[in-house]
């Protein structure tokens, strides 16, 4: 799995963009209606070609030892 940061996420449409550690911007679609992402959340994901386009799939939050989502927002402040 790859690690990246959420660049943007449209909650209504459930799609967004993630930037991986190589600086690549990859689109993803969130199939889980109960999971929401915020800008700068740290995530793990797999890569797949869907309709000849590179997509991030199986996007999940990275969780710390206390069970909280890791976000770059907390590291900026």
What does the domain layout of the chain look like in residue ranges? 2-76
* Across 12-30, average pLDDT: 96
Element (H, E) at 2: strand 2-10
Q: What percent of the chain has pLDDT over 90?
A: 88
| pLDDT at site 14 | 95
Tens digits of residue pLDDT in 42-70: 999 999 999 899 999 999 999 999 999 99
pTM here is: 0.88
Looking at CATH, the fold of the domain delimited by 2-76 is given as: OB fold (Dihydrolipoamide Acetyltransferase, E2P) (2.40.50)
* pLDDT at 74 exceeding the cut of 80: no
* 31-55 b/e (C-beta count within 10 Å ≥ 16 → b): eeeeeebeeebbbbbeeeeeeeeeb
Mean pLDDT score of the chain: 93
């Amino acid at each position: 799995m790859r690690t990246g940061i959420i660049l943007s996420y449209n909650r209504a449409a459930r799609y967004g963009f993630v930037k991986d550690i190589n600086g690549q911007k990859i689109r993803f679609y969130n199939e889980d209606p109960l999971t929401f992402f915020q800008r700068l959340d740290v995530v793990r994901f797999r890569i797949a070609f869907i309709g000849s386009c590179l997509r991030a799939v199986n996007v999940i939050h990275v969780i710390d030892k206390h069970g909280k989502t890791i976000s770059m927002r907390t590291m900026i402040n």
